[in-house]
Structure 1
């Protein structure tokens, strides 16, 4: 990943006054008002397939919360093709998978970013059994510990149409944001992803639609957020 690409992934920081940055702030606000009176501290960002802007959305949503002076953790639960550490030019050394199998310690794996209030927990060593690790008692215990340390936890995950990981983590989260890229994924695939998440009791907060039209950098990022309607 080039530094230019990284800046685009960190657009909420690199261009804080841009229309795109404002869209992430609006996303943050909409999440808050979609569940008035209920705590939403653990948010899974999910997509049906790869290449829809899921990780970019997770990163910028985390930055947006950090800009509110909240302590934020960006947790990479994509134990198959992790990308969060690389996006921040951090090494993935010990991470989530290593902690879950008892081969790493949380205090060693947590990494502070150059963005105030924002920490990253990398995925760690790519394991042979990602779904089993994410569904373990150790994962539940770790999340409980992290909730006592951070105001907000944003979780990235693998594409939901290919693996059960997103459903597993979605059931542990307070809410799920679905990401879809126009022209990349079918409505049916998004519908199946939503139903799969709802089947395990995950709360769908809404959907981000990424516009795939060419010509402007901003067009690749979240420019629409829908609630409660037919966002599939």
Structure 2
């Protein structure tokens, strides 16, 4: 029986989504590629960014939306896990969650469920198919993201996770749009600003950095994402 055009298009679209989505995790699929080496270089720079304090927890935010922040967070989490560190990637973007799309096996519940006392930490954390890598999805999008992230409960959850994992990476919303990253940066070990080189103006990047620093952040560097290259390039600067 011949397939209808509508059904054939739907199947083609489904195959395309299955084939392209995992390719974003270049550090997992092509660990020996030049781009994976760039992520390892960023990892090394993070580890040596302070002589006085171990960068066990880092927060990554961006100056503007559509900067490629979430996929960079995911790849960094992969290379930390590949180092043998028990690593947790937290989707702290409670407004526009992305981590679950990158790791589709993650459960629908997550951080918001913990913060509203509906589930426990152990129930919310999900294993991935990368050894030593775990993810904490955002969960159900709440009406009050800032209030949840700035709560005492969030600090308690962070303290527990800090004891459970060797490395924690927070993926947070763009700092120019909302205060969420400013609320979290006060208690993580270090914060990083992601700048998309062909998208962010110098003035916007400067304002984003000022906002991050106003939240008592320990800014350890910036990552420049060059979208103009045939394949994305990532650069780290102290």
TM-score range, shorter chain: over 0.9
Name the CA distance, whole Å, in 2 between partners of 1:178 and 1:5: 27
Aligned pairs (5 A) from 1:97-112:
97-112=112-127
**1:225 matched to 2:236:** yes
- Does 2:103 correspond to 1:78? no
1:91 deviation in Å? 4.3
- Residue-pair matches, total: 223
CA separation of 1:8/1:178 partners in 2, compared to 1, >3 Å: closer, same or farther? farther
Corresponding residue SS for 2:52: coil
Matching residue within 144, 149, 162 for 2:177: 162
Moved more, 137-146 or 8-17: 8-17
Q: CA deviation at 1:2?
A: 2.3
Match of 1:144 in 2: 159
SS of equivalent to 1:172: coil
* Cα deviation, residue 92, structure 1: 4.1
Structure 1 counterpart of 2:3: none
Q: Is the CA contact 2:71–2:102 (under 8 Å) kept in the aligned structure 1?
A: no
8 Å CA contact 2:61, 2:174 repeated in 1: yes
Kept after mapping to 1: 8 A contact 2:106/2:135: no
Give the aligned partner of residue 49 of structure 2: 34
- Structure 1 residue ranges without an equivalent (≥5): 228-232
Whole-angstrom distance in 2 between the partners of 1:70 and 1:6: 25
**Where does 1:175-186 land on structure 2 (aligned, <5 Å)?**
175-186=190-201
The structure whose Rg is larger is 2
C-alpha distance in 2, partners of 1:78/1:36? Answer: 30
Q: TM-score, normalised by structure 1?
A: 0.92
Cα shift at 1:6: 2.6
Root mean square deviation of aligned Cα: 1.3
| Residue 151 (structure 1) shift | 0.3
Query: More displaced, 118-127 or 174-183?
Result: 174-183
Residue-by-residue CA offset, 1:134-173 (whole Å, 9 max, x unaligned) = 0000000000000110000001011110000011111121
Alpha-carbon distance between aligned partners in 2 of 1:134 and 1:103, rounded to the nearest angstrom: 16
- For residue 106 of structure 1, report the CA deviation from its aligned partner: 1.2
TM-score (norm 2): 0.90
Contact 1:53 1:180 survives alignment (8 Å): no
How far 1:3 moved relative to its partner? 3.2
Which of 122, 125, 130 aligns to 1:115? It is 130
Q: Counterpart of 2:7? A: none
